[in-house]
Amino acid sequence: GQSLEQPSEVTAVEGAIVQINCTYQTSGFYGLSWYQQHDGGAPTFLSYNALDGLEETGRFSSFLSRSDSYGYLLLQELQMKDSASYFCAVMDTDKLIFGTGTRLQVFP
Amino acid sequence: GAVVSQHPSRVICKSGTSVKIECRSLDFQATTMFWYRQFPKQSLMLMATSNEGSKATYEQGVEKDKFLINHASLTLSTLTVTSAHPEDSSFYICSASDSFNQPQHFGDGTRLSIL
């Protein structure tokens, strides 16, 4: 079957660094994406890895290891506005499959 | 960047009503769009893949006759929830990409409440 596992919740303080892990098992793989979703809102695209390695976009970085079926999202210099749910997603052949989601709470 | 527009943003209606939700790609053409449903504090569950000019592909467990999908043009897909009941109340979201293997961009979602 297909599965993308993430920790259910992560907490941190402002200014800290957090890493949200994602392990996946899918029949096909065309890349790992990360999305942010605030309560009541739609997902917004953060980052995408098609190849192994680290992608950096401002305060957010994403890493992929295809041999380990593993990736992570790294959030640096955390701000209160980063409190949201974060989803990894795998493009599996012809559709996007979402992970279980991680709720990040940032405290002052 | 790619923009996806979804309408309406919120619907409240009586049980038995059919509700149509539109998803438009505003600045690109999308041969494929996706429809998701999300219950509170849960992940996005793919319902179906909408294919321009052909039948939609539904995920296992999703009723085709209940959730009608039409993708009549390269910029518009519609999801109709037929004879909606309270258990159909959910957050429905569409997505599209301007090319294969590129990240999906999401509409703002439609919050459907059936009384």
Instruction: Tell me the per-residue pLDDT of B3-55, one tens digit each, with 9 for 90 and over.
Output: 899 999 999 999 999 999 999 999 899 888 999 999 998 999 999 999 888 89
Chain B residues touching residue A91 (CB < 8 angstroms) = 101
Mean pLDDT of A90-96: 84
pLDDT recorded at residue A27: 86
Beta-carbon contacts of B44 under 8 Å, excluding residues fewer than 6 positions away, are A43, A87, A98, B36, B37, B38, B93
Q: Residues of B with CB below 8 A from A101's CB? A: 42-43
Q: Does A102 touch chain B (CB under 8 A)?
A: no
Alpha-carbon distance of B28 to A13, in angstroms, equals 40
Question: What residues of A are in contact with residue B111 (Cβ under 8 Å)?
Answer: 40
**Whether the Cβ atoms of residue A24 and residue A32 lie closer than 8 Å to each other:** yes
Average pLDDT of span B74-84: 95
A98 CB neighbours in chain B (<8 A) are 36, 43-46
Kindly state whether A45 is in contact with chain B, defined as any CB-CB distance less than 8 angstroms: yes
Q: Is the pLDDT of residue B58 over 90?
A: yes
A61 has a pLDDT exceeding 70: yes
The DSSP 8-state label assigned to residue A28 in this structure reads -
**Contact flag A33-B95 (C-beta cutoff 8 Å):** no
Residue A21 has pLDDT above 70, yes or no: yes
| CA proximity to B93, closest of A1, A106, A87 | A87
Contact criterion met (CB below 8 Å) for B84 and B14: no
| Interchain CB distance below 8 Å, B103 and A48 | yes
Residue A9: both structure tokens together: 């919740």
Q: What is the pLDDT of residue B95?
A: 94
What average pLDDT does the segment B81-90 reach?
96
**Encoded tokens for A71:** 């990736």
pLDDT of amino acid B100: 66
What pLDDT score does B1 carry?
A: 67
Q: In this complex, is the C-beta atom of A95 within 8 Å of any C-beta atom belonging to chain B?
A: yes
